[in-house]
Amino acid sequence: MYPESYEPNPLYPRSEDFEVVRKDDQTGLGVISHKGFKTGDIVAAMNGERIQDIRQHSLQIEPGIHLYDIHFAGYFLHSCAPNVFLDMEKMLVIATRRIKPGDYLLMDYAQTEDHLFKQFACGCGAKNCRGWITGKKDLIDEEDPAYQQFISAQVMAV
Ligand SMILES: [Zn+2]
């Protein structure tokens, strides 16, 4: 999964345990676990390039420093009811609830990101779904046509 050039780490995800889906449609992307985990389990260690800008699949380590992991964690889907927590200090993915084989690994992008590469309307279906997803410190980009569409869909649903 990670290139051979990375220093060996037994916690790195093994390709038999996880499947990175890179299908080119909005909901197709993601990482499926073929292994089960209990709450609190270490799912895997992550690694990647350290970059200073925010990209589509980057994850914030601290303000101004981002992990660009295009092999594993950068492909986690967002959910407002995530099943993993990303410890960006220890570079570990931790299960926050039970994960069954075949489940997608789901993170809350606002857990790590102050600012999102792109704000979006969430379709996670969780009871506590925030609807429009931004980074922790982002203001809603009201000029964004996707946001205007999201708002008019809300109005129509009422
Ligand atoms: Zn949601």
Q: Which residue, among 85, 80, 105, has the nearest Cα to 29 in the 3D structure?
A: 105
Q: Which residue, among 93, 76, 92, 75, has the nearest Cα to 84 in the 3D structure?
A: 93
Which range of residues forms the domain containing residue 50?
18-117
Token pair in block for residue 158: 């009422």
Question: Rounded to 5 degrees, what angle do the CA atoms 63, 78, 84 make?
Answer: 80
Q: Which residue, among 134, 11, 120, 12, has the nearest Cα to 72 in the 3D structure?
A: 12
- The values of phi and psi at residue 137, to 5°, are -110, 5
**pLDDT, position 23:** 72
Domains contained in the chain, number:
1
For residue 104, the domain's CATH number is 2.170.270.10
DSSP 81-145: S-SEEEETTTTEEEESS-B-TTPBPEE-HHHH-SS-SS-EE-----TT--SEE--TTPPP-TT-H
Tens digits of per-residue pLDDT, 124-154? Answer: 999 999 999 999 999 999 999 999 999 999 8
How remote is the CA of residue 128 from the centroid of ligand 1, in Å? 7
Residue 103 forms part of a structural domain: yes
Residues with CB under 5 A from ligand 1 (ion): 80, 122, 124, 129
pLDDT, mean of residues 49-73:
97
What is the pLDDT confidence band of residue 28, given thresholds at 50, 70 and 90? low
Residue 134 forms part of a structural domain: no
Q: What's this model's pTM, rounded to 2 decimal places?
A: 0.93
How remote is the CA of residue 8 from the centroid of ligand 1, in Å? 35
* Average pLDDT taken over every residue of the chain: 94
Token pair in block for residue 7: 């220093």
pLDDT at 121 over 90: yes
